[in-house]
Amino acid sequence: MTTVTTQQETRPSAAAKPVRWAADAVAAMREGARLRLDYSARSLWSIDRMIEDIRQEAAPYEAVELVLRGFGSYAGEVIARQTGGEWWSSGGDHWIRTPDGRLWDPIDEARRCYTGDGSLRLLCRDASDGASRT
């Protein structure tokens, strides 16, 4: 008897929630904004622009908190796939740990984008640059 293991089954349990939040963000963007996200670093340009548009509308943070969590989780998945990193969690917070040992907080970076102080695209670039040097 052969046992088939899917990628989801081999991932650490810390990945379960952010992977689901990322998938929800992908589905919401496909359905609502007609934007197809493909988990590429390039797609983070669109996410940064989307967050900027939401920020320009001056929506209260409480109204967009879950959207930002989804966008940050999506960026974390992009980083994990680009670098071979994996999700870590503690106390309800989630980070990506890249193979070089650094921790990245893409969910908080999405929140920083909303305040005009962050970029998920640049976070991914920085995480990927560091991981490629190891």
- Confidence at 29, pLDDT banded by 50, 70, 90: very high
Write the pLDDT tens digit of every residue in 7-25.
Answer: 444 456 888 999 999 999 9
DSSP codes, 31-68:
HHS-----S-TTHHHHHHHHHHHHHHTT--HHHHHHHH
- Structural domains in the chain, sorted by start: 13-132 (1.20.120.1090)
Contact 118, 112 (CB under 8 A): yes
Contact 81, 124 (CB under 8 A): no
Instruction: State the Cα–Cα distance between residues 74 and 120, nearest whole angstrom.
Output: 10
Write the pLDDT tens digit of every residue in 35-94.
Answer: 899 999 999 999 999 999 999 999 899 999 999 999 999 999 999 999 999 999 988 899
Give pLDDT, residue 121: 97
What is this structure's pTM? 0.86
